[in-house]
Amino acid sequence: MNRLLSAVLGVVIAFLAWKFIDWALLHAVWQPDSKACRAAQGACWGFIAEKHRFILFGTYPYEQHWRPALASILLLLLWALSAWRMFWRWWLVLLWLAGLSVIGILMWGGVLGLPYVENQRWGGLILTLLLSSFGIALAFPLSILLALGRRSDLPVIQALCVGFIELIRGVPLISILFMASVMLPLFLPAGVSIDKLLRAQIALILFAAAYLAEVVRGGLQALPKEQYEAADALGLTYWQKTGTVILPQALRIAVPPLVNTIIGFFKDTSLVVIIGLFDLLQTIKVSLQDPAWSGYGVEAYLFAALVYFAFCFAMSLYSRRLERR
Amino acid sequence: MLGVAWYLVSNTLANLEARRIASGFAFLWREAGFEIGEAPFQRYSAADTYLKALAVGLANTFKVSLAGIVLTTVLGAAIGLFLVSANRLLKAVSRAYVEFMRNVPLLVQLFFWYALITETLPPPPQALQPLPGVFLSNRGIFFPLPGSAPVLEGFNFSGGLAITPEFAALLVGLVTYTAAFIAEIVRAGVLSVSRGQREAAYALGLTRALAMRHVVLPQALRVIVPPLTSQYLNLTKNSSLAVAIGYPDLVSIANTIINQTGQAIEGIAIIMAVYLTISLSISAFMNWYNARLK
């Protein structure tokens, strides 16, 4: 029975795999040649070859593409460093602040001989990385405050934190993004305006903070009661206790679920497409509107899926390794 | 705190006045003036009110969510059981499925399915016919109903049960994506039942399948149901991504209304109120269920 199942399943998988390889590799066109693509039986990877600069960097000035490229590498380095247990110290915060400032200078320019590039022209993969990195970096401290507030003895603070967390978690992200893109401008005094990218970033930060707060709260709850009592017995104030005894331990417990939440958030940043920001997915979508290259949506979105998969799968392998310890 | 709130409210009022945007919900009774691609369980035309349009959007949200919940439960449970199956090939394939689905954004998957349907299926005159009376085309999928078979008229089919490409892509995307998460929940539930239970069942002479059905699953259900309900909630919230591929759900109708009337605050308040109601009712149900189990 078991052997028969394996055999049938094996044949089906082999057939599907052969079909896919035939389409994706054997009969595929790899050169950026739209005529060859129209004639071909297989996939048109030439589309990606033709549009790769736009997909990666959006409308950032062509001769300046090394700047977002370098910024992406710096961001990935920051993340890689943060993954190491030996770097889980308070000065990691300073490192992030320094890193993000350097990336800001690189992207905006206007100093050190770099031409100024307004953030309407940022786009592509770097925008996806920036939205998620700034989102997590700013949401994380906020989420700690929210989680502490939710466990606070002060009823007003507790009610505010619970209300905020449950409101954000109860509605779809897209409604929060709509709120940021159409409602936020109404709240501001006349003459003041915040640009679209910043508004979306604020929405993403608030969204991430609510979800991260629940994970941090899990860590706080998992900490044995004796730790709180011992800290109280030493006569520490609330902030001394929280900063030196509770948080360092609770956050360590919470790292694997935190990584999972970060994966979810990284995927969710793709929703900014709906409010028209030029992230990775949007640059791919826009590339498809070129009449010479329309009709290759299947190839284009498979490519998008592979890029997202590479990042998310790496993070989930990491989180699983942490859990196994 | 009150000062900040007052500051925001006064700014908003000033801005609304400056932009000549009305406030309040009176617009709901005005004529909508736009057509909606699909309106289940009711008749709708552009001459109907905004309120009616929102009702159609809500019906579409419920339609795709309910169908999605039923199908994803079946698919997710099957893959979850494959993940703990004795067949190594089956196990490996389901593991690969779960890993791939969970690590690619749902929106990318929706765009992929939509592109697959609209770009690779032929136009209605050359529609594929996998079964007699069933037609697959880039304008939708058509099934025969008793007394009404789909017939090609001009450039599209009429009659029968029509599934639009938007609905099909959204449903397939939601079902296959959520199933990966449900499969992991089912797997964890099955593994949470202690080995002794299964061994005792085998000792009683039950086969693997019977032991699973009568001994393991009933006990695993206690662990499975709470996270399962939150997956149902996620699926319902994720159905709002419909707006990206043009399926007329609540969010996409509300978005159209916001663009037409400029009444963003009211429009977003309606979306949030509906979703909060859904999620609070689901968590109320979960609390009731957990209390009953104890």
Interface test with A, best of B107, B263, B283 (most A CBs within 10 A): B107
- Using CA atoms, how far apart are residues A263 and A315, in angstroms rounded to an integer? 7
Residue of A nearest to B256 (CA): A178
For testing the chain B interface, which of A182, A199, A272, A284 should be mutated: the one with the most B CBs within 10 Å? A182
Neighboring chain B residues of A285 at a CB cutoff of 8 Å: 111
Q: Using a CB–CB cutoff of 8 Å, tell me whether B92 touches chain A.
A: no
Beta-bridged to residue B158, according to DSSP, are: B151
Q: Domain containing A191: what range? A: 64-324
Kindly give, in sequence order, each residue whose CB lies less than 8 Å from that of residue A260, ignoring residues fewer than 6 positions away: A316, A319
Count other Cβ atoms within 10 Å, centred on residue B227: 16
CB contact under 8 A, A171 and B107: no
Both structure tokens of A300: 């284009």
Tens of pLDDT, residues B101-134: 999 999 999 999 999 888 888 888 788 888 887 8
What is the reported pLDDT for A31? 78
Compute the average pLDDT of residues B258-262.
Answer: 84
Whether the CB-CB separation of A298 and B115 falls below 8 Å is answered with yes
- Residue A320 distance to chain B (closest CA, Å): 12
* CB distance A43 to A31 below 8 Å: no
Best of A13, A47, A171 to disrupt the B interface (most B CBs within 10 Å) is A171
- Residue B289 C-alpha, separation from nearest chain A C-alpha, in angstroms: 20
pLDDT band at B227 (very low <50, low <70, confident <90, very high): confident
Is B90 in CB contact (< 8 Å) with chain A? yes
Q: Chain A within 8 Å of B268 (Cβ-Cβ)?
A: yes
- Give the whole-angstrom CA distance, residue B161 versus residue B153: 15
Q: CATH no. for residue A190?
A: 1.10.3720.10
Contact B107 A281 (CB under 8 A): yes
Query: Which residue from A292, A301, A272 is spatially nearest to A123, judged by alpha carbons?
Result: A272
Model confidence at B180: pLDDT above 90: yes
Interchain CB distance below 8 Å, B244 and A172: no
Of the candidates A175, A309, A313, the beta carbon closest to that of B271 is on: A175
Task: Classify residue A87 by its DSSP letter.
Answer: G
Q: According to CATH, what is the number of the domain B42-293?
A: 1.10.3720.10
| The two structure tokens encoding residue A111 | 């100093």
Helices assigned H by DSSP within chain B:
2-18, 50-83, 88-102, 106-115, 165-192, 195-203, 208-211, 217-238, 242-245, 250-261, 264-293
pLDDT band at B294 (very low <50, low <70, confident <90, very high): low
Cβ <8 Å between A10 and B116: no
Whether the per-residue pLDDT at B290 is higher than 70: the answer is yes
ipTM confidence: 0.88
pLDDT under 50: residue ranges of chain A: none
Q: Closest chain A residue to B93 measured between Cα atoms? A: A13
Tens digit of each residue's pLDDT (9 = 90 or more) over B48-100: 888 888 989 999 999 999 999 999 999 999 999 999 888 888 899 999 999 99
Residue B127's identity, in one-letter code, is A
Shortest CA gap B146–chain A (Å): 34
The partner residue sitting opposite A187, judged by closest CB among B12, B99, B268, is B12
CA distance B35 to chain A (A): 21
- Tell whether the model's pLDDT for residue B293 goes beyond 70: no
| A114/chain B closest Cα distance in angstroms | 35
Residue A186 lies in a domain: yes
Say yes or no for a CB contact (<8 Å) between A186 and B87: no
B-chain CB neighbours of A274 within 8 Å are 241, 243-244
The answer to whether residue A54 sits within a structural domain is no
Is residue A265 assigned to a domain?
yes
Lowest-pLDDT range of A103-117, B64-78, B224-238, B267-281: A103-117
A245 located within any domain = yes
Answer whether B240 sits within 8 Å of A174, measured CB to CB.
Answer: yes
Record the pTM.
0.88
Which run of H or E residues covers position A321? helix A297-324
Please name the helix (run of DSSP H) or strand (run of DSSP E) that holds residue A118, with its range, or none. Answer: none
Contact (Cβ atoms closer than 8 angstroms) between residue A166 and residue A260: no
How many distinct structural domains can be found in chain A?
1
Q: How far is B197 from chain A (nearest CA, A)?
A: 23
- Sequence ranges of the domains in chain B: 42-293
- Chain B partners within 8 Å of A301 (Cβ): 108-109, 111-112, 115
Would you call A10 and B14 a contact, using CB atoms and an 8 Å cutoff? no
DSSP string, B187-221: HHHHHHS-HHHHHHHHHTT--HHHHIIIIIHHHHH
Q: In this structure, is residue A108 part of a structural domain?
A: yes
pLDDT at residue B164 greater than cutoff 70: yes
**Residue contact B275–A175, C-beta within 8 A:** yes
Cβ neighbours for B248, distance < 8 A, ≥ 6 positions apart: B36, B37, B38, B56, B57, B60, B166, B242
pLDDT of residue B78: 93
The encoded tokens of residue B31 equal 């004529």
Please check whether residue B257 is in contact with residue B267, taking contact to mean a CB–CB distance below 8 angstroms. yes
